[in-house]
């Protein structure tokens, strides 16, 4: 018994006649009658009885017809769902992002909700190294990461450079700008990456190039935790400006560095040898719009 036989049987049951069923199925009557007989022989039961020109279901036929309708409906639903996923109209898009790049996510989520409402997102958070591992294990399709990162296994779309700002407790200073050497006198709390080179090394290296060793009193892997410490008056930090878009600004003072440009680079990355779903491709394309 196969799907085709079930469709033939169900159509005969619906139409009540071989003739009408054959017409609906766009086939000749003899092959349809043969399919019904083959199905009855396979099951070892009589499924339909002829009453004049009409076909009436036996008790066994009624049981099969009920189940066949359920099965065929499920099959049709499955085919539709698979096609919708293939066309990018439906499905799950798994994306990873470092917290300092999370500001890229909300607007794109809104875009998908407006244009592809049946697409759902599964978001993952981690540092760049961890997200690269998630990609290699195929736990996610795309990742938004901070560079530098070893990209030999990945294709990438570079994002605009993000300038660092100094973030201090609101009561420390009313100015809008600061000079790089003034940072030497501050207790600094910096983001650090679990593995590899990250924002910590970038800031420390820039300070050393300007002739001083920064007074780092705390290293922290989480931007929200870091900003909470600054808000509490525990010290100052340096972060890419876009990071601040994802967190409350109350109790914080943001200052531009007037005599030094420290920039962070980021990118959307994905495995080179992986097939990308249409929704992953659409997500990447939103960065070019």
Region 243-262: mean pLDDT is 92
What is the percent of the chain with per-residue pLDDT over 70, rounded to a whole number? Answer: 97
What pLDDT is recorded for position 195?
64
Region 162-172: mean pLDDT is 95
What pLDDT is recorded for position 288?
87
Sign of CA dihedral 228, 231, 237, 243: positive
Lowest mean pLDDT among 63-67, 188-192, 271-275: 271-275
Region 180-199: mean pLDDT is 86
What pLDDT is recorded for position 7?
93
How much is the mean pLDDT over the chain?
A: 91
Q: Is the pLDDT of residue 59 over 90?
A: yes
**Cα gap 9→64, rounded to integer Å:** 9
Q: Is the pLDDT of residue 194 over 70?
A: no
What pLDDT is recorded for position 255?
96
What pLDDT is recorded for position 280?
92
What pLDDT is recorded for position 196?
64
What pLDDT is recorded for position 162?
93
Lowest mean pLDDT among 93-102, 186-195, 200-209: 186-195
Structure tokens of 92? 């799950």
Confidence of residue 15 (pLDDT cuts 50, 70, 90): very high
What pLDDT is recorded for position 53?
82
The string of pLDDT tens digits covering residues 78-133 is 876 677 677 767 788 999 999 989 999 999 999 999 999 989 999 999 989 999 99
Sign of CA dihedral 278, 284, 286, 289: negative
3-state secondary structure the chain: CCHHHHHHHHHHHHHCCHHHHHHHHCCCHHHHHHHHHHHHHHHCCCCEEEECCEEEECHHHHHHHHHHHHHHHHHHHHHHHHHHHHCCCCEEEEEEECHHHHHHHHHHHHHHHHHCCCEEEEEEECCHHHHHHHHHCCCCCEEEEECCCCCCCEEEEECCCEEEEEEEECCCCCCCEECHHHHHHCCEEEECCCCCCCHHHHHHHHHHHCCCCCCEEEEECCHHHHHHHHHCCCCEEEEEHHHHHHCCCCCEEEEEECCCCCEECEEEEEECCCCCCHHHHHHHHHHHC
**Cα gap 165→141, rounded to integer Å:** 31
Region 235-241: mean pLDDT is 95
Q: Is the pLDDT of residue 77 over 80?
A: no
Region 34-47: mean pLDDT is 93
Q: Is the pLDDT of residue 197 over 80?
A: no
What is the percent of the chain with per-residue pLDDT over 90, rounded to a whole number? Answer: 75
Q: Is the peptide bond before 148 cis (omega within 30 degrees of 0)?
A: yes
Sorted by where each starts, the structural domains of the chain and their CATH numbers stand as 3-86 (1.10.10.10), 91-159+266-288 (3.40.190.10), 162-263 (3.40.190.10)
């Amino acid at each position: 018994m196969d799907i085709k036989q079930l469709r033939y049987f169900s159509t005969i049951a619906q139409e009540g006649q071989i003739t009408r069923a054959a017409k609906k199925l766009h086939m000749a009557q003899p092959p349809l009658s043969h399919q019904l007989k083959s199905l009855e022989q396979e099951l070892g039961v009589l499924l339909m009885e002829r009453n004049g020109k009409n076909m009436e279901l036996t008790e066994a036929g009624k049981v099969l017809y009920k189940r066949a309708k359920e099965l065929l409906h499920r099959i049709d639903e499955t085919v539709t769902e698979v096609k919708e996923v293939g066309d990018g109209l439906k499905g799950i898009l798994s994306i990873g992002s470092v917290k300092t790049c999370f500001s890229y996510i909300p607007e794109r989520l809104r875009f998908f909700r407006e244009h592809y409402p049946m697409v759902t997102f599964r978001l993952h958070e981690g540092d760049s190294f961890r997200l690269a591992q998630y990609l290699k294990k195929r736990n996610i399709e795309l990742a938004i990461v901070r560079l530098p990162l070893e990209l030999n296994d990945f294709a990438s779309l570079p994002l605009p450079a993000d300038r660092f700002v100094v973030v201090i407790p609101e009561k420390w200073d009313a100015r809008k700008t600061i000079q790089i050497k003034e940072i030497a006198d501050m207790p600094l709390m910096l983001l650090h990456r679990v593995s590899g080179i990250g924002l910590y090394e970038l800031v420390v290296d820039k300070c050393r190039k300007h002739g001083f060793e920064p007074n780092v009193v705390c290293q922290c892997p989480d931007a929200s935790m870091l900003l909470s410490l600054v808000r509490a008056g525990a010290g100052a930090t340096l972060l890419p400006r876009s990071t601040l878009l994802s967190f409350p600004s109350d109790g914080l003072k943001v200052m531009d560095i007037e005599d030094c440009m420290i920039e962070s680079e980021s990118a959307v990355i994905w495995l080179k040898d992986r097939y990308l779903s249409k929704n992953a491709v659409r997500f990447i394309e939103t960065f070019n719009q």
